[in-house]
Amino acid sequence: MIVLLMTIAFQSQKFYEHYEVGVKRFQDEDYKGAIDQLEKAIQIDPMSSANKRTYGVQLIKYFPYVYLTEAHLILGEDDAARKYLALAKNYGEDRDEYVRIQLALFEGYLIPEVDTTPVLDTRGINDLISVGNFEGALQLIRTLQKDHPDDETLATLRRFAENALKSSRDLAALQDRIQQDVNDVLSRARQAERENDLESAYFFYQLVDRKLVAGHPEARSFISRYEARLDQSEDKLQIDFLESRIAEMESDNAILLERLEAQKLDRQSLAEVIDELRQQSDQAKRLSPQVVPNVTIDWFKTFTDSRYWFNAQINSNVTLLRASLSVNDQRVGEWDLRGKKVFHLPNLTDKELPVKEGLNQFNMYITDYQSQTHMKTFRTELVYPKNEGLALAIRLSILGVSMLMLMAYVIHQRRLRTAFRERFNPYIAGAPVLTDNMFYGRRALLKQILNTLHNNSLMICGERRIGKTSFLHRLNAVLPTVEDEIYDFIPVLIDLQGVAESDFFAFLDHEITGTLSLRGFDLEPTPDEVDARLFAQRLRKAINLLKERLEKSPKLVLLLDEVDVMNTFSERTNQQLRSVFMKGFAQHLVAVMAGIHISKRWKSEGSPWYNFFEQIQLSAFNDSQARHLVADPVKGVYSFTPPSIDMILELTQGKPYLIQKICVNLVAHILNVNRRKIREEDVQFVYEQIKHEFDQSAANIEEGSP
């Protein structure tokens, strides 16, 4: 297993050695030697980074292209310098202030060269890479390389995709090895239990729970039953025998213990490798050529009911920030367009706008994500007809309605074309859902919780990737908007993953202080060390400040994610946190906790949290909820055949993460083949490519469900 990880890390180690030697030779003014070593480094790892991991622990600035640019410039090789200058910008080295100044100086020395080579659109490749479909990306790259064999961007993307594919396969093999260890130790534990060798079974189940899968249901069940029996008997001889037997088992299984300890290090290295893959995948997205903004606007004017109606649609090939409208030099409106490329202006009438009979001028100012403003002008003449009777009014009304219907149809068709051209793909796989429009299947449960939070703390349980984090994010967004007669709800979202027990109360204090500061409540900064007592004192001050500043009674809602980490904390720490909720200010404090292995452990009578929570179980979507999640996000743009939806529901079993995962890949697939309808054979094709994710999800459920 260690060898496997060393194989994965080897390339990073080798690239760093070439880079280090290249920089040293550059500093020694051996520019040809520097170029030789730096080009070897980028052949292995072409991705620049301000925080590149070397030996698994060290982070360095990896900026090879700025060195290559300067070296070629000094040697008088302007073409090569120009090429590496473009790559330095393409890979984001100019985000560093010092490097940006250097590159600006280099540009001054280089005579601009007109590039007549057509820009290659690599967005399809980047879409596949961003969802982890490296095989599909490689297939598309090979197809494009037949027509563009010398394209450097394609060559770079191919090296990354090949390395990423190999690493992902190696990681899958490593995961299989870890699962084999789990199965092996469980098998020994079950065999010992069948033979009534309870001490040996206890030893092996402890290994499963402590070394392999914390909170494993089968292991925890046996351990709880066995320890309860010991507590009831209070037989000192039996306890002494158990301790002696465990010492003997540790000696007999020394090799196994050593392997499991090594496995712990393997998992840490595994996490680093996965993190590196994520960073490289994000960097790969930046390989797409710079897009020249192209912003257009279509204006529509109709006359009906004795008034003029105005409408417009903005279309852009880049993300927009905002738009504002002025009519006859008077500002009349502004709209937030963040994240949008298409915007449909709401209907406006001549009663709302400063228009006049005769010539009028509309100016729309549209700002894109690069802070570039595009002004679009629409000049139109307004003529108000004389009263020619009811018949004319009816005819005009009919004409106006017809025009509006035609306009709606034109806009709808344009939206379809724009969405297809811009590779519209709304599904989210892996990250929590942060927007209301993609929050499906839990609205009834959300309403139930909002009605319960006044006087109750809640525990949200569920298997991995069932939507607990997304649910907490939605609560965090909705709670400040709740109109309640008594309370003002102030949510604080806290992710406990990776928090050490020694830092626990300081971390809670820091997150609460930071959230309240963002809402305008000035609190003293969190001290370096915070114990339970100081945490309670500072929390009391914060709540008193809220009571002074708010008109209604404050209700501070702690939204605690990944609380499984608290299973590793001492009972004393858990009891100290529990006591915070029993203080005099407790009427202003509730918690919503979410995790995987919390249910059975915390429901025991000996737990500090016994009978403290109302428990909420997050389960898979029912048939109706799942169908909405599949079809609604792309309604009007793409479509699914009924058999394809049935197949998706059967494969995913209503698990929202798996539904999003297969749908994001399905949309990427049909875009690559220029179709808008998803069929049953598309589902089968994509499922075969990502089947390992479904298998891993099933394994996670078997190991980790509470």
Residue 115 has pLDDT above 50, yes or no: no
Residue range 568-620, pLDDT digits in tens: 888 888 888 888 887 777 788 999 988 886 645 555 555 666 567 788 888 88
Helix axes 236-252, 217-233, angle to 10 degrees: 140
Q: Report pLDDT for 680.
A: 94
Strands 307-327 and 330-344 come out as antiparallel
- Which amino acid makes up residue 566? M
Residue 486 has pLDDT above 80, yes or no: yes
Q: Report pLDDT for 617.
A: 85
Q: Report pLDDT for 369.
A: 60
Model confidence at 551, in pLDDT bands (50, 70, 90)? confident
| Distance in angstroms (rounded) separating the CA atoms of residues 212 and 178 | 8
> Coil, helix or strand for 478?
helix
Residue range 683-699, pLDDT digits in tens: 999 999 888 877 766 55
| Distance in angstroms (rounded) separating the CA atoms of residues 103 and 117 | 23
Per-domain boundaries in the chain? 2-167, 295-421, 442-617, 623-704
> Coil, helix or strand for 572?
helix
Q: Report pLDDT for 113.
A: 47
Q: Report pLDDT for 12.
A: 42
Q: Are 328 and 314 in contact (CB under 8 A)?
A: no
- Mean confidence (pLDDT) of the chain: 79
| Distance in angstroms (rounded) separating the CA atoms of residues 492 and 289 | 40
Higher pLDDT, 365 or 177: 365
Q: Report pLDDT for 4.
A: 36
Residue range 392-446, pLDDT digits in tens: 556 666 666 666 666 655 555 565 556 566 677 888 877 787 777 777 778 888 8
Residue 140 has pLDDT above 60, yes or no: yes
Residue 334 has pLDDT above 50, yes or no: yes
Residue range 612-660, pLDDT digits in tens: 778 888 888 999 999 999 999 888 788 999 999 999 999 999 999 899 8
| Distance in angstroms (rounded) separating the CA atoms of residues 223 and 200 | 12
Residue range 489-544, pLDDT digits in tens: 999 999 998 899 999 999 999 999 989 988 888 888 889 899 989 999 999 999 99
Q: Report pLDDT for 11.
A: 45
Q: Report pLDDT for 557.
A: 92
How is residue 217 written in tokens?
């249901």
Model confidence at 266, in pLDDT bands (50, 70, 90)? low
Q: Report pLDDT for 607.
A: 62
Higher pLDDT, 116 or 546: 546
Q: Report pLDDT for 1.
A: 37
Residue 706 has pLDDT above 60, yes or no: no
The whole-number average pLDDT for the span 32-60 is: 80
Q: Report pLDDT for 327.
A: 93
Q: Report pLDDT for 267.
A: 63
The whole-number average pLDDT for the span 99-105 is: 72
How is residue 342 written in tokens?
């298409």
Q: Report pLDDT for 183.
A: 86
Q: Are 158 and 141 in contact (CB under 8 A)?
A: yes
Q: Are 614 and 461 in contact (CB under 8 A)?
A: no
- Burial code (b: 16+ CB inside 10 Å, e: under 16) for 617-629 equals ebebbeeebbbeb
Comparing C-alpha atoms, which of 363, 359, 373 is closest to residue 327?
363
Q: Report pLDDT for 612.
A: 73
| Distance in angstroms (rounded) separating the CA atoms of residues 465 and 660 | 11
Q: Report pLDDT for 705.
A: 45
CATH code of the domain made up of 2-167: 1.25.40.10
How is residue 137 written in tokens?
């990306």
Residue range 445-484, pLDDT digits in tens: 888 888 888 778 888 888 888 888 888 888 898 888 888 8
- Asked if the domains at 295-421 and 623-704 fall in one CATH topology, the answer is no
CATH H-level, domain 442-617: superfamily: P-loop containing nucleotide triphosphate hydrolases (3.40.50.300)
Q: Among 92-106, 147-161, 255-269, whose mean pLDDT is lowest?
A: 255-269
Higher pLDDT, 359 or 99: 359
Residue 55 has pLDDT above 60, yes or no: no
How far CA 306 is from CA of 270, 353, 360, in Å, comes to 70, 15, 18
Residue range 285-323, pLDDT digits in tens: 554 555 577 888 988 887 776 788 888 888 887 777 789
Higher pLDDT, 361 or 182: 361
Residue 552 has pLDDT above 60, yes or no: yes
Helices (H), 62-109: 64-74, 78-90, 97-109
Model confidence at 678, in pLDDT bands (50, 70, 90)? very high
Cα R_g (the chain), whole angstroms: 31
Q: Report pLDDT for 606.
A: 52
Q: Are 304 and 399 in contact (CB under 8 A)?
A: yes
| Distance in angstroms (rounded) separating the CA atoms of residues 140 and 144 | 6
Residue 59 has pLDDT above 80, yes or no: no
Q: Report pLDDT for 203.
A: 81
- Domain 623-704 part of CATH 3.30.565.10: no
Residue 36 has pLDDT above 60, yes or no: yes
How is residue 702 written in tokens?
């078997």
The partner residues of 53 in beta bridges, in order of sequence, read: 59
Q: Report pLDDT for 235.
A: 58
Model confidence at 32, in pLDDT bands (50, 70, 90)? very high
Model confidence at 682, in pLDDT bands (50, 70, 90)? very high
Q: Report pLDDT for 648.
A: 94
What's the CATH architecture for 295-421? Sandwich (2.60)
Residue 270 has pLDDT above 60, yes or no: no
Q: Report pLDDT for 361.
A: 93
